[in-house]
Amino acid sequence: MSLLDVKDLRVEFPGRSFRAKPNEVLHGVNLHVGAGETLGLVGESGSGKTTIGRAVLGLVKPSGGTITFDDRNIVGLDKRARRELARDVQVVFQDPYTSLNPSMTVGDILAEPLIIQGVDAKQAGARVRTLLDQVGLPQDASQRLPREFSGGQRQRVAIARALAPKPRLIVCDEPVSALDLSTQQRVMELFIDIQRQTGVAYLFISHDLQVVRHISHRVSVLYWGDLVETGTAAQVTNDPRDPYTQRLLLAAPVADPARQRARREERRAFLAAQAG
Amino acid sequence: MSKLASSSKEMSAVSDTTAQGGHGPAARTSTFKKLLRDPQFVITASILVLVVLAGIFAGVLSHHGPNDAELSAINAPMGTDGHPLGGDESGRDIFSRLLHSINTAVISALIGAGVAVVVGVVAGLIGGYFGKVTRATTEWIFNLVMTFPGILVLIILMPVTGGDYRATMLVFGVLLSPGIFRIVRNLVLGVKNELYVDAARVSGLGDLRILARHVLFVIRGPIIIQTAFLCGSAIAVQSGLAFLGVGSLSTPSFGAMISSGFRNLYVVPTQFLWPSLSLGVMTACLVLMGNSLRDVLEGGQPRPLKMGAGQRSAQDAATSELAADESALLQVRNLGIAYAAAAGGANEVVRGVNLRVARGKVLGLVGESGSGKSQTAFATLGVLPNAALVTRGSILFDGRELLGLSDAQMRPLRGKEIAYIPQEPMSNLDPSYKVGSQLVEGTRKALGVSKAEAKQRVLALLDRVGIMDPQRTFDSYPHQISGGMAQRVLIAGAVASRPRLLIADEPTTALDVTVQAEILDLLRDLQEELGMAVLIVTHNFGVVADICDDIAVMNKGVIVEQGTAEQIFANPQDEYTKMLLGSILDEDKVREDPPVVAGAAGGAIEGGAA
Amino acid sequence: MIGYILRRLLAGVVLALLVTLITFLLLSTSFEDVAKTILGQSATPDTIAALLHDKGWDRPVIVQYIDWLGHGLTGDFGNSVYDSQEVAPAVAHRLSVTLSIIIPALIISAVLSTVLGVWAASRGGVVDRIAQIISLIGYIVPNLLLAIGLVWLLAVQLKWLPATGYTPLSENPLGWAKSIVIPVIALVIGSVASMSAQIRGRMIDELSKDYIRTLRTRGVSTMSLVIKHALRNAGGPALTVLGLEFIQMLGGALIIENVFALPGYGSYAFNASLQGDIPLILGITVFGVLLVTVVNLATDLVNGWLNPKARLM
């Protein structure tokens, strides 16, 4: 039984100049995310992966297709329905520097989703304390401003904010792409821990195959608005069937000189075969 | 914005908040305190407060009404009994008129600036926040308002306003509002697309609440600053109009007093002096106060760049105890680079770096953000920003000391012997010139050839770097080509002169993985063909494994380990290096544990996909 | 590009129509008051009504507007209520006087501001300090006091130049030059203050951009970086500033004209307004709007040409 079900999703953006034709960015994408699982969404620029995330979150209006959560339609919701949905669906964005309001304290940032839900200040305060523990931040963080924290720590705040209303699905839009290597690994571990503890599902969007492989149960590959392959993480990232996925896999460099040399050869052979 | 571009952002002591303007309640008090510590603000604000108070208490302070005329006081000199500043041509007390004029000025400022701010802010919020159509409409309306020169409108509408200065100031306020509108609208547009606003929307926050909580904070600073300036303008304009004789004769104002004083300039010069001084002082205080506000709230005026001055080096910077290595093409010894710290003193971001690039080999300079690796690269090229100071060390290029060379001496090296490829291709091309002409300009500088010859070479180069249709790309503007093509163009430009050393600053970070692979192939080919030494700055060990012969690992301004690629990957010595290598996500490991479903109501539910 | 031009032209025409219509509507509320002023002592309800009828001011406003517009398209803007002069030629003449002051002032100001702004932005140091001080003075000292101060200094104390009066260019070039020097200086100081600060700001923005650094690494000379690249990119916004400044000057010249007793456009507007001379006011408005429209159009066009993205549309 799927938590999130996307069927035949189409999104178009208006053309650049006044009378230009609209530009279809997603051409009928199908995917679903089950409870407690991570669906990794991989694609390069122009693939539309971020657009899918934004459509699920209600930030972009689809021009066709359906998106349902728990079998309820979540497209074009009014303000009240959106607030209700916010209890179940949350987001963690890519840029830790601009996803937190710089003029609000961390405590206020974390409390905001709760206050919107009508939780009273005292309960919200207690929950904020729990959240800080959950993401490994010190308790005094709630009095401080975002600029006093590093990128990795801010991302933890963003994760805590997403967890505040105890959602069942979090859309993660490139959440570790802007982080340093060492921080990246720690934050990835945090994501996995939280999933194990709370059973939240992730729609995990990334351009990095390595990252996606690490956290996903299933993976879907997007190419210029089309879903070209879907399967288990193991299958898609080790033994892909679609030529684009294969190209993607071969293009990612390996952190070992000998193995990278081997992969280069494989890639050369593959591209030659494709051209032939 | 990638985290790596932010390393240069971190270096220039701009904190995130100065750009955003607003602060929370805790920080707000400190803004006020900062203002109180600025003498310019304190002085100008105090003067203004005193002046306004004098106006309010005009009735108490002066013994005559502003329009009471006494024959005996006509053109009375200063110090006459009952008329401390003398009498004007109609026998009215100048002191009294002056104090009442202050009130006129204050009211003008309040109405003029007030209307401008209210109209501008509301329209700016609406025009910036809501959709395209609203934006276009409000833009159009305000263009209309801006179309006509303000004073003329005021004059032309005199029959309608009847000359009453309050109505006139109301109209003036409306005429001034486009400036505020534009500022607010641009700020709102900027904030509207910020991710934290998106996050608030996802949480279910409605538009109005978003405007109130998230957007208003950001516009507070600029609006306060503009209000100060607008008050000054309003007072100046009202004075000007009064000078011309617009408005009721019974309203005392600086302009009217200046006008009559002007007439009597030779008879009694002091009549002219007092209103002019008062007007000047009020406007000066408002402008200076506005400047102080801007300094505190927005971090002050931008600083000029000293173009052509070259990199700054401390006096005896270019020395080092380490022996020079003959076999290295580039040798950096004990390099130190510092920036001024916010609290005073200097903050070293590069603290004694040693590295060497062998001839014809590729060195990967690896580190996380803030390690100082880009700074090292820039220092070699001599293009560190003005705020940076090279405090110590030496950079030897083929035995020649680079530190301490003037910009004029560096220029023949740059682009010719030492070349550079930047990180973000699109922002590194001049948007106003065709791609071809930019390449030709650089090529002519490097090789000293004619324009026609340069063009031929450039076309050949574009072909060599794998661009499909060289002529077409040559004739295109930067915004017409893709990121990958732009990077190829920049590479073509860099290798045009067959440089001996190529410095590449994260050349593939901003590119898609498939494009990255192609660019790495290209760089490898070119390196072999031209026998260039390459210093490639990166944070990606995959890139390093693909293209580097040697590796130098940098952490917090020092090199912690340097060796061949094989050595470092197989057998890292330093703790930091080991930690970094350990953080690389394992290629072979895939997620094994099944999805967890946290206590769903009603029986066992299988987790995972249907 | 042609499409761009035509669209801007159309926008300009629409704007002109709209402004004149709004002005007309606003002025129409004071027909009675104007009639009273004209009649002076002999104003009674009957004579007022008769005058209104005689002038056609009792017709529905829209009808009057269209009538006025129709005549206007043939160049006939009616006659002044007070001295019966034909509006169009009179306004044109006064406008030419004002323009003969504004245009030299603008050119000098533009050149000075650009040099000052570019130098201050790219070199800093002493020139930057000077530029900042000039800006500060220009902002602080109201136009009014500046004009009077200059007259007092140059004409009264030093007696170098005439204090008031205007000699047309056609009559005596040297006399004309002398009569406009002080007004031009007054305008220039005020205008250089704001323009140089803006140009400085934009140049600093531009010079801080990545592509400048990259061009530098290719050995491009500093002069080329500053002038050929940075100034070119900063040019668009700078030109917009210039256009706005021109429009500002048109209004600011008013006070100057008053202080220096120059028979210009601003003082003409002022008097017409005081007297409620409606046909004259309308004529003045039309000329003003047309001028402003032309300036805006020119600025837009140059901007469009400078910006490759717009040019290719």
A-proximal residues of B, 13-52, CB under 8 Å: 15-17, 20, 22-24, 26-27
CA quadruple B460, B462, B463, B465: dihedral positive or negative? Answer: positive
pLDDT at B600 over 70: no
Contact status, residue B260 vs residue B202, Cβ threshold 8 Å: no
B-proximal residues of C, 238-297, CB under 8 Å: 244, 247-252, 254-255, 258, 266, 269-270, 273-274, 276, 281, 284-285, 288-289, 292-293, 296
Contact flag C145-B280 (C-beta cutoff 8 Å): yes
- C-alpha closest to that of A34 among A270, A201, A271, A255: A201
For residue B151, give the nearest of C23, C205, C252 by CB distance.
C252
pLDDT at B571 over 90: yes
Q: Indicate whether this model's pTM tops 0.80.
A: yes
Contact flag B204-A105 (C-beta cutoff 8 Å): no
B305 Cα to chain C: minimum distance (Å): 5
Is B441 within 8 Å of chain C by CB? yes
pLDDT tens profile B321-359 = 677 777 789 999 999 999 988 777 888 899 999 999 999
For residue C220, give the nearest of B159, B303, B442 by CB distance.
B442
Rounded CA-CA distance B418/B74 in Å is: 82
Nearest residue in chain C measured CA to CA from B175? C248
Is B580 within 8 Å of chain A by CB? yes
Is A17 within 8 Å of chain B by CB? no
Rounded CA-CA distance B157/B152 in Å is: 8
- C-alpha closest to that of C214 among B435, B15, B458, B360: B435
A chain contacts of residue B541, beta-carbon cutoff 8 Å: 181, 255
pLDDT band at B438 (very low <50, low <70, confident <90, very high): very high
Contact flag C293-B147 (C-beta cutoff 8 Å): yes
Cβ-based burial of B454 (10 A; exposed 0-12, middle 13-18, buried ≥19):
buried
CA atoms within 13 A on the CB side of B336: 16
Q: Which run of H or E residues covers position A228?
A: strand A226-232
Contact status, residue A235 vs residue A221, Cβ threshold 8 Å: no
Strand order in the sheet with A38-42: A89-92, A169-173, A201-206, A38-42, A218-223, A226-232
Angle at A218 (CA atoms; ends A212, A221), nearest 5 degrees: 65
C chain contacts of residue B411, beta-carbon cutoff 8 Å: 219, 221
Greatest extent of chain A over all pairs of C-alpha atoms, in Å = 68
B-proximal residues of C, 111-150, CB under 8 Å: 120-125, 128, 132, 136, 139-145, 148
Contacts made by residues B261-268, CB under 8 angstroms, sequence distance 24+: B261/B88, B262/C148, B263/B89, B264/B75, B264/B88, B264/B89, B265/C152, B267/B75, B268/B75, B268/B77, B268/B86
Per-residue tokens: B274: 């007092």
A chain contacts of residue B595, beta-carbon cutoff 8 Å: 34-38, 195, 199, 201, 217
Q: ipTM of this model?
A: 0.91
- Contacts of residue A275, Cβ cutoff 8 Å, sequence gap at least 6: none
Cβ-based burial of B349 (10 A; exposed 0-12, middle 13-18, buried ≥19):
buried
Q: Which amino acid is at A207?
A: H
CB atoms under 10 Å from CB of C136, counted, come to 16
Q: Which run of H or E residues covers position B535?
A: strand B533-538
Contact status, residue C113 vs residue C191, Cβ threshold 8 Å: yes
Rounded CA-CA distance B171/B237 in Å is: 12
pLDDT tens profile A212-243 = 999 999 999 999 999 999 999 999 988 999 99
pLDDT at B607 over 50: no
CA atoms within 13 A on the CB side of B458: 29
Per-residue tokens: A75: 């497209």
Per-residue tokens: B163: 């000359």
Per-residue tokens: B605: 């539910």
pLDDT tens profile A180-202 = 888 999 999 999 999 999 999 99
CB atoms under 10 Å from CB of C196, counted, come to 27
Q: How many CB pairs under 8 A join A and B?
A: 221
- pLDDT means per 10 residues, chain C with 313 residues, are 76 79 79 74 78 78 82 76 78 86 90 90 84 83 80 73 69 77 85 87 90 91 89 82 82 79 82 79 81 82 74 52
In B399-450, where does DSSP find H-type helix?
A: 407-410, 435-447
Radius of gyration of chain B (CA): 34
More confident residue, A247 or C299: A247
pLDDT of residue B295: 84
For residue B159, give the nearest of C30, C152, C307 by CB distance.
C30
pLDDT of residue A16: 66
Contact flag B514-A248 (C-beta cutoff 8 Å): yes
At which residue do the structure tokens 């002050």 appear? B300
Is B157 within 8 Å of chain C by CB? yes
pLDDT band at A17 (very low <50, low <70, confident <90, very high): low
**What are the two backbone dihedrals, phi and then psi, of residue A217, each rounded to the nearest 5 degrees?**
-85, -45
Strand order in the sheet with B400-401: B346-358, B328-340, B388-397, B400-401
pLDDT tens profile B283-324 = 889 988 988 888 888 776 778 888 877 788 876 666 666 777
Nearest residue in chain A measured CA to CA from B193? A98
Q: Are strands A218-223 and A226-232 parallel, antiparallel or unpaired?
A: antiparallel
Contact flag A36-B598 (C-beta cutoff 8 Å): yes
Contact status, residue A205 vs residue A172, Cβ threshold 8 Å: yes
Nearest residue in chain B measured CA to CA from A92? B199
Mutate to test the interface with A, among B1, B197, B202, B564 (most CBs of A within 10 A): B202
pLDDT tens profile A90-126 = 999 999 888 998 888 999 999 999 988 888 989 999 9
Angle at C187 (CA atoms; ends C186, C193), nearest 5 degrees: 95
B-proximal residues of A, 122-141, CB under 8 Å: none
pLDDT band at B128 (very low <50, low <70, confident <90, very high): confident
Contact flag C122-B305 (C-beta cutoff 8 Å): yes
For residue B195, give the nearest of A89, A98, A145 by CB distance.
A98
Is B60 within 8 Å of chain A by CB? no
B chain contacts of residue C217, beta-carbon cutoff 8 Å: 381, 383, 414-415, 419-420
Contact flag C307-B160 (C-beta cutoff 8 Å): no
pLDDT of residue A37: 93
- Please provide the DSSP assignment of A57-124 as one string: TTSS--SEEEEEETTEE-SS--HHHHHHHTTTEEEE-S-TTTSS-TTS-HHHHHHHHHHHTT--HHHH
Rounded CA-CA distance A264/A275 in Å is: 16
Torsion of CA A194, A195, A200, A201, to 10 degrees: 140
Counting as contact any 3 or more CB pairs under 8 A, the partners of A are B
For residue C121, give the nearest of B291, B305, B383 by CB distance.
B305
pLDDT tens profile A44-92 = 988 999 999 999 999 999 999 999 999 999 998 888 898 999 999 999 9
